[in-house]
Chains A and B, each alone.
Chain A
Amino acid sequence: MYQVLSKVLFNNELSPVYYRMSLNCPEIASEAYPGQFLMARVSKQLDPLLRRPFAIHSVKNATAKEIKMDTSSCVEILYKVVGKGTKVMSLMREGDEMDIIGPIGNGYRLDRNIQTAILIGGGIGVASLFYLAETIITKGSKAKKVVFLLGGKTKDDILCIEDFKRIGVEVRVATEDGSLGCKGVVTDLLSDYFGSGDYTPGSSPYCFACGPEDMLKEVSKVIVEKELPCQISLESKMACGVGACMVCGVETKPQLGDLRKGTVLKSAKQKDEMGYKRVCKDGPVFDCNEIIWE
């Protein structure tokens, strides 16, 4: 993990409240993998005070990796202006500096034998899924099919679909107001996919989802019913990003692997208490079966 004073290479408005920013940070670019994130300090002043987490949207490494300081090594983030911090970021220009920490967290775990991947995104959740799609398509040797199901409130919330298509991803879109793609939500697209001829029961596609918590909860229900593997990337408010402050927890079912040697569990209640995990350090990507949604 590195703390880097990175230069903004570009900061482009994609639609009224969405931006894509590229940051020059060779150290982070050379180690990052899909599903990991950055903590950005958006102001050198003390307000806004805390760093903001941003999923890594794409990584460009210099052709020769050993040229550590090549300005073409960068990470891209995709963000929505939702408050004071992201407002400050939206005003940044090429050449401005931003203090970032990364790469952080346990990202998506990729099986090299993936033949079919279903990516399910809601709104800004598209951020981490693009880097994932790029990686699935370029790594490994087998022919692959990547399907991306994306939902949003309106067409303004549907981002990057041309970028996905350009790298060979099949894209299906739903909007709640019907302004782009089907009228509905992303779980409708998912149910349609499982009901269509594209899906052969027993073909075991890998599912990956990123988006708002309510969406992830509904997506998990559909996928658990199909008994398919699904990794989900959670969002959370954070302070430290390194596992120290304990504000970004998620309740998980205790996994056998967590019961470390020498731990004496004195009661069933205490066993349950072992089930909190930190989104920043233990995640942000979890198996959907791990999460207790209620």
Chain B
Amino acid sequence: MAFVPPDLSVNISSLTLKNPIMTASGTFGYGQEYASFVDLDKLGAIIVKGISLEPRSGNPYPRIAETTGGMLNSVGLENIGADRFISEKLPYLVDSGACVIVNLIGNTVEEYCELAQKLDKTSGIKGLELNISCPNVKEGGIFFGIEATSAFQVVGSTRRSTKLPLIVKLSPNVTDITVIARSVQEAGADAISLINTITGMAIDIETRTPKLANITGGLSGPAIKPIALRMVWEVSRVVEIPVIGVGGIMNAEDALEFIIAGASAIQVGTANFVNPKATIDILLGIEKYLTDKNINDIKTLIGTLKI
């Protein structure tokens, strides 16, 4: 019998992805930066660097500190703004054949809505990911993501501003992530991605100063994977909408853990810095796993954790 490759496609609400591999916002630029290493159209989706209505200059430097098995960043949502993204960055991505999902940031509910409306009218964008979880800025970002009522409000209002599939990215810096998850589902989110980075810090003992100018930053990388996995498992048990797993995924084995825990898709973040071909390596590794286990459809693997 002829070899039939496993079906890797997954559904995120109305959006069908050719495979479950996405890039995590902020770790893959606007796609073009990685085009020497990855065929962008081979990935399930590319989630671009967070975009705000107006350009943002971000936080002071230094913005990075490496830690054991991880990295702290305090970039602070530096980006070129929606207009320049649409005119300068989006055309290349669309031409590459990539499935483009835009990560949105705002200071106010009104800004999220205005931005969602603007992107809704822009062709070539397949979905939105609402960032209510960046730990590095006071206004916007995490302000909305750590309290169920404000999360409900911003997701509900943005939902009414766009017909595009709406993913909401959650912060792990909360007491009970399932409360926030339920709240954004109720507000009309099509999917939930988690986790954003975990707030952390590092100190230079010679100078007794913080290693980041912002004092604290967001921890990412393999160090946070067990926490992300636990939260994906917790959330996927209490919501009906698809969950997208992100946090410290470095290889196919890590990605498969998230899928078994309940994630319908996964995002690769810090691993892109370590290995610019990480997304493709993970894709090939998942395909091999399915073939070896005689699993012909990845959808049958989602949430199959045996307890």
Chain A contact residues, CB within 8 Å of chain B: 1-3, 41, 46-51, 99, 101, 236-250, 260, 262-264, 266, 270, 272-274, 276, 281
Taking CB atoms, residues of chain A closer than 8 Å to B63 are 246-247, 249
Q: Which residues of A contact B222 (CB under 8 A)?
A: 46, 49
B294 within 8 A of A: no
Q: How far is it, in angstroms, between the C-alpha of A260 and the C-alpha of B87 when the chains are bound?
A: 10
Which residues of chain B from 66 to 82 have any CB-CB distance to chain A below 8 Å in the complex? 66, 68-71, 73, 75, 78
Among A41, A242, A274, which residue has its beta carbon within 8 angstroms of that of B274? A41
B56 at the interface (CB under 8 A from A): yes
Partner of A245, one of B54, B61, B273: B273
Residues of A within 8 A of B250 (CB): 46
Q: How large is the interface on B (under 10, 10 to 19, 20 to 34, 35 or more residues)?
A: 35 or more
Check A3–B64 contact: CB distance below 8 A: no
Sampled A-B contacts (18; CB under 8 Å)? A46-B222, A236-B61, A239-B64, A239-B270, A240-B33, A242-B34, A244-B28, A244-B49, A244-B272, A244-B273, A245-B26, A247-B62, A247-B64, A263-B84, A266-B54, A270-B54, A273-B55, A281-B33
User: Which of these, B56, B68, B75, B276, contacts A247 with CB under 8 Å?
Assistant: B75
Interface pair A262/B87, CB less than 8 Å apart: yes
Interface membership of B257, Cβ < 8 A: no
Q: Are B78 and A3 in contact (CB under 8 A)?
A: no
A3-B276, A49-B66, A49-B270 are contacts. A249–B29 as well, Cβ < 8 Å? no
Q: Which residues of chain B from 142 to 184 have a CB within 8 Å of any chain A CB?
A: none
Report yes or no: A239 in contact with B276, Cβ–Cβ below 8 A. no
B276's partner among A50, A242, A260, A281 (CB-CB below 8 A) is A242
Q: B274 touching A51 by the CB < 8 A rule? A: yes
Interface status of B57 (Cβ within 8 A of chain A): yes
Asked if B226 CB lies within 8 Å of chain A CBs, one says: no
A249 CA / B64 CA spacing, docked (Å): 11
Inside 8 A of B71's CB, which chain A residues have their CB? 49-50, 239
Q: Check: B207 CB closer than 8 A to any chain A CB.
A: no
B229 to chain A, nearest CB (A): 16
Bound complex: CA of A260 vs CA of B56, how far in Å? Answer: 16
Which residues of chain B are within 8 angstroms of A238 by Cβ–Cβ distance? 64
**How close is B96's CB to chain A, nearest CB, in angstroms?**
15
What is the bound-complex CA distance between A247 and B56, given in angstroms?
A: 14
Q: Which residues of B contact A249 (CB under 8 A)?
A: 58, 61, 63, 78
| CB within 8 Å for A276 and B84 given contacts A50-B273, A50-B274, A240-B273 | no
For B61, the chain A residues whose CB sits under 8 A away are 236, 247, 249-250
Which residue of chain B has its CB nearest to the CB of A251? Answer: B61
Question: If A245-B27, A263-B84, A274-B55 touch, does A240 touch B272 (CB 8 Å cutoff)?
Answer: yes
CB closest residue in chain A, given B75: A246
Given contacts A46-B250, A262-B83, contact A242 B33 (CB under 8 A): yes
Given known A244-B28, A246-B58, contact A41–B275 (CB-CB < 8 A): yes
User: Closest B-chain residue to A250, C-beta based?
Assistant: B61
B92 contacts which chain A residues (CB < 8 A)? none
Q: What separation, in Å, do the CA atoms of A99 and B276 have in the docked complex?
A: 11
User: Are A260's CB and B66's CB within 8 A?
Assistant: no
Residues of B within 8 A of A2 (CB): 36
Assembled-state Cα–Cα distance A41/B250 (Å):
14
CA distance A262 to B70 in the complex (A): 39
Question: Roughly how many angstroms separate A244 CA and B33 CA in the complex, as a whole number?
Answer: 6
Say if the beta carbon of B289 comes within 8 Å of chain A.
no
Pair B78/A246 contact, Cβ less than 8 Å: yes
A273 and B272 in contact, given A46-B250, A49-B69 (Cβ under 8 angstroms): no
Residue of B nearest to A101 (CB): B276
Instruction: Fill in one digit per residue for B28-43: 1 if any A CB lies within 8 Å of its CB, else 0.
Output: 1100011011000000
State the CA gap A57–B29 with chains docked (Å). 29
Partner of A276, one of B66, B68, B78: B78
Tell which of B63, B73, B222, B274 has the most Cβ of chain A within 10 Å. B274
- Chain A residue numbers with a CB within 8 Å of B69 are 46-47, 49
> Quick one: which of B37, B62, B68, B276 contacts A47, CB cutoff 8 A?
B68
* A239 proximity list for chain B (CB < 8 A): 64, 71, 73, 270, 273
**B88, CB-defined interface residue at 8 Å:** yes
Q: Quick one: closest A residue to B72, CB to CB?
A: A247
Distance, CA A51 to CA B84, complexed state (A): 30
Complex Cα spacing A11 to B49, Å: 39
B294 to chain A, nearest CB (A): 31
The yes or no answer to B118 lying at the interface (CB within 8 A) is: no
B221 within 8 A of A: yes
What is the minimal beta-carbon distance from B141 to any residue of chain A, in angstroms? 15
In the assembled complex, the CB of A159 is this many whole angstroms from the nearest CB of chain B, namely 24
Q: How far is the CB of B276 from chain A (nearest CB, A)?
A: 6
Contacts of B75 in A (CB 8 A): 245-247
In the complex formed, the residue of B with least CB distance to A280 is B33
Q: Which residue of B lies closest to A47 (CB)?
A: B69
Least CB distance from A58 to B in Å reads: 24
Which residues from chain A contact B54 at a C-beta distance below 8 Å? 266, 270
